[in-house]
Structure 1
Amino acid sequence: MSQTVDLPPCHVDVDVDVDVRGPLLMAAVGLLLLQIDLVDIWRDSLPGPVNRWWHAVPLIVLCVLMAWRRRRPMTCLALGLAVFLGEAMLGGSIGSLLVIIELVYAAGLHGRRPVVDYLEWVVAGAVLLAGAGTLAATRDVRSAVAAGLTVFAVFGTSYWWGASSRKQLELTEAERRRAADQARLAELREADARRSEREQMARDLHDALSGSLSAIAIHAEAGLQSEAARVEALRVVRATSREAMGELQTMLSVLRPDASATSSPQLHNLDGVVAQARARGLTVRLDVSPDPLPGLPAAVGQAAHRVLQEALHNVGRHSASRSAVVRIRARDDLELEVVSVGASPVSPEGSGLGLHTMRERVAAMGGRLHAGPDQGVDPEMWRVRAVIPLPSAGEAP
């Protein structure tokens, strides 16, 4: 028995709750940096001396936005950039720069597609804008390149980091979904295998017991109607009961875990099948070529045995003549033919299950089966003909 594997759902947008500890820690670090006067990153933009504690206001605003970065990453980034650019007019601070780096990273990681796909173009535009602005202000190419590289190092690297983490999470989710799909497919295959086994057991039970039980019922009824036929009816009932018990024991032995395919009934037991039919009062003429039959694959032999057994059972149940001719040919194909001589064995009491199981068995071997009146010779003659392909000499049986 296999165990069902329940995999927890995985989403790329992990942990979307409002974060508190991270922003508090970042605010504490930023205030500490203000305390040691790590401000005025862009001194050239200062109109004059600015009290360093003015930088605490945008820092706190940025930390509040940082708390919502996982739930609204793009909105927080847009507002954060506006606050960060406004603080740049005051010279900027290291604490605010650290927060904006985290917001860019969060946008790359948690942002929803397709908006996040355009963020790399925004970063590229910021790099070009920083370089062009610096070049226009200073007329120094080295300063312009340094400004562009600085913006890329700050924003481009953080975005790339977040996007790479996002791809890794997406790959992880894809693998988990694939594992879940494989687990579901395995369950479906197992259920299909169980269903096939149940159908196989139903066919075997029908083939093994239905004919014998029908013969018992027919002869028991005949014994009740005629005193002279009672002894013969009891004899047939006893023989048929033993036959049914033998078939049942054979089937149960096949169901054991250590049973092999050769434990199942085979066509090599042809004389036994014919003898059982004759014991039930049938007249059977056998025509086999070559005789003895060559070695047959176990599955083919079992299918042919069951078809022959069911066909003879149908003759005993439905044919008025109670006689049959069995022809077997083994060449490129195994050809099995059972012809009921005399009246047609069609009966309104039949369920048709026997013919259905015969067709299933032959079709499973890649063969074909015909069962019906022989219109070409005698409409009252019933013919069952099965053709099952045999493996060539170079193929394994």
Structure 2
Amino acid sequence: MTASLRSFKPHRDGVLLAVAGLVGGLVLWAVGVRTQGTAALLPGAWVLAPLAVMAGLELLRRTAPRTILLVGTVVLIVNQFTTGSLATILMYTDIVYAAVLYGSPVAARRIPWTTGLLTVGAAIGLTAWLQRADGLLLGLAIGLVCFLPAITGAQVRGHRDAAEAARLRTEQIALLAEMDRAQAVTAERARMARELHDVVANHLSAIAIHSTAALSLDDARTTREALTVIRENSVDGLAEMRRLIGLLRDSGDEDRRPAPAPSLAALDALLEQARTNGASSGLGFTLDDGRGRATALPAPVELAAYRIVQESLTNALKHAAPGTVDIELRCSDGILTVRVASPYGARPGPRAPGSGAGLVGMRERAALLDGVFEAGPVTVGDTGREVWVVRAELPVSRNHRGPEGSGTS
């Protein structure tokens, strides 16, 4: 009940128009201004009745436009049987305008057509009936009262609908832009997390393993060798961290160029470092590069392959049993295949903890290039020996959608 009453609460514009129309009509009646002759069917003060009803209808011009148009038309007809009030006619034109502007879309389309046909029909019919040109003037008067307000309302409504559609499009564009920005931020954070993990985890794993060995073995030579490896990895890790922080920091210095992304050409140096770090754990490393000298790979593919090999070596240092870690690279049919096989089984001595983030990062790097990644234990031949195999297939001839090809690590 309360909601229903609130829906019929008059708008401020309707109140102002109702008061102005009623007061104006009273003034016109008081000074004797009328639109009909004194020999009307309802003479005298009867003219005030249509005036008052039409003013009351103005209060509902927004909340019930269709209803007040029907009632207002009847009131306008009744006004013609009185001495006539110009204020009543003017308020009716506003009711027609409001019916088009605030009514349903169907009404907004039908009312201009209906009033236009009524105007043309009245002009032709009155001219034929009166046999004078006065019929055209009466048709014109009907058009000014009905058709012109309807056309004006349709134009205003069209502009308002266009403005509302533009506003909605602007909001949708802003929402899509915000979604794109959030996705870009998320993707960049994931890329930074992968880079930080791949760059730092290798050094920290070696530090963890050798520091554990130095603490658990009471041997001066072993301790010295472990401390040497720890120092080397600490210095290298610190340099990598400084390089990454320099890339993230917007210094505005044009002379500072971002360091180039690592490529497969740096695998020899990476393996040499892995041999140094894994010597105390009985690990050896071999590289079988079957790509061919003429093979040119896109920068995103080179970076992803390098990081996958780097993370695989880090995991081998953490978890692999003594033995040889084999790295194979093959490129054929537009696919670069990276395969790293590590000894799998019980491992003596210290072991660094793992979080699983490395496998997640490698899988993400392959997915960003529309590649395939798999990792898990595999039994070799009939010997029953198991190895942990990391295998990635990276397309080299597609348009890549990830941020790996930014040119920096």
1:183 aligns to 2:178 (yes or no): no
Matching residue within 63, 71, 82 for 1:71 = 63
Report the alpha carbon displacement of residue 162 of structure 1 after superposing the two structures with TM.
0.9
What residue in structure 2 maps to residue 21 of structure 1? 16
1:243-282 paired onto structure 2 within 5 Å: 243-257=236-250, 263-280=260-277, 281=279, 282=283
Cα distance change of structure 1 residues 30 and 290 upon mapping to structure 2, 3 Å threshold: same
Structure 1 contact 77–107 (Cα < 8 Å) conserved: yes
* Residues 126 and 344 of structure 1, relative CA distance in 2, 3 Å threshold: farther
User: 1:30-85, CA deviations, whole angstroms, 9 ceiling, x for partnerless residues?
Assistant: 455446644234x598349x34x543443243233224323332333333222221
Q: Cα deviations across residues 96-147 of structure 1 (Å, max 9, x unaligned)?
A: 21111111111111124555555346536754875697479x4648666654
Q: Which shifted more, 251-260 or 231-240?
A: 251-260
**Is 1:110 equivalent to 2:102 in the alignment?**
yes
The whole-number CA distance in structure 2 between the counterparts of 1:45 and 1:139 is: 20
* Aligned counterpart, 2:312: 311
Structure 1 portions without partners, runs of 5+: 1-14
Instruction: Check whether the contact 2:344–2:377 (CA below 8 A) recurs between aligned residues.
Output: no
For the pair 1:88 / 2:80, whether they are aligned, the reply is: yes
Distance 1:348 1:220, change over 3 A: closer
- Aligned equivalents of 1:266 and 1:255: distance in 2? 20
Which of 228, 233, 240 pairs up with 1:240? Answer: 233
1:97 equivalenced with 2:89 (yes/no): yes
How far is the alpha carbon of 1:232 from its aligned partner?
A: 1.9
Q: Which residue of 2 aligns with 1:383?
A: 389
Q: 1:191, CA displacement in angstroms?
A: 1.5
Equivalent-residue separation in structure 1 for 2:314 and 2:228 (angstroms):
18
Tell me the TM-score normalised to structure 2 length: 0.78
Q: Which residue of 2 aligns with 1:12?
A: none
Deviation at 1:241, TM superposition (A): 1.8
* Counterpart-to-counterpart distance in 1, 2:80 and 2:322: 109
Q: Name whichever of 55-64 and 26-35 sits farther off.
A: 26-35
Instruction: Judge conservation of contact 1:316–1:322 (CA < 8 Å) in 2.
Output: no
Q: Which secondary structure does the structure 1 equivalent of 2:285 belong to? A: strand
CA separation of 1:376 and 1:167: change in aligned 2, threshold 3 A: farther
Q: Cα RMSD over matched residues? A: 3.5
SS at 2:225 equivalent: helix
1:11 aligns to what? none
Per the alignment, residue 376 of structure 2 pairs with: 372
Letter in 1 for 2:299: A
Q: Give yes or no for contact 2:54–2:92 (8 Å, CA) kept in 1.
A: yes
Which of 337, 340, 343 aligns to 2:342? It is 340
Query: Counterpart of 2:35 in 1: which secondary structure?
Result: coil
Q: CA deviation at 1:313?
A: 0.8
Q: 3-state SS of the aligned residue for 1:89?
A: coil
Residues 123, 379 of structure 1: alpha-carbon distance in 2 compared, 3 angstrom cutoff: farther
Partner secondary structure for residue 19 of structure 1 = helix
How many pairs does the alignment contain? 375
Q: Which residue of 1 aligns with 2:365?
A: 361
Which range is displaced more, 335-344 or 190-199? 335-344
**Conserved 8 A contact 2:205-2:352:** no
Give the residue type in structure 1 aligned to 2:335.
D
CA distance in 2, matches of 1:341, 1:321: 7
Match of 1:46 in 2: 40
Q: What is the deviation of 1:196?
A: 1.6
What is the letter of the counterpart of residue 354 of structure 1?
Answer: G
Give the aligned residue type for 1:100: Y
Which whole-Å CA distance do the structure 2 matches of 1:342 and 1:80 have between them?
A: 92
Instruction: State the shift of 1:294 in Å.
Output: 5.0
Read off the aligned partner of 1:352 and give its amino acid letter.
G
Residue type matched to 1:380 in 2? E
Question: Does the 8 Å CA contact 2:343/2:388 hold for their aligned counterparts?
Answer: yes
Deviation at 1:89, TM superposition (A): 0.7
Taking a change above 3 Å as real, the CA distance of residues 293 and 342 of structure 1, as seen in their structure-2 partners, is: farther
Q: How far apart, in 2, do the equivalents of 1:348 and 1:221 lie?
A: 9
Alpha carbons of 1:153 and 1:18: their partners in 2 closer, same or farther (altered >3 Å)? closer
Worse-matched range after superposition: 148-157 or 179-188 = 148-157
8 Å CA contact retained: 1:215, 1:316: yes
State the alpha-carbon separation in 2 of the partners of residues 337 and 91 from structure 1. Answer: 101
Are the equivalent residues in 2 in contact too, given 1:123–1:156 (CA < 8 A)? yes
C-alpha distance in 1, partners of 2:235/2:86?
A: 96
- Name the CA distance, whole Å, in 1 between partners of 2:294 and 2:322: 29
The one-letter amino acid paired with 2:152 is: W
Match of 2:223 among 227, 230, 243: 230
Q: Distance in 2 between the 1:279 and 1:249 partners? A: 23
**TM-score normalised according to structure 1 size:** 0.80
Structure 2: unaligned runs, 5 residues or longer = 1-9, 399-404
CA distance in 2 between partners of 1:250 and 1:261 (Å): 8
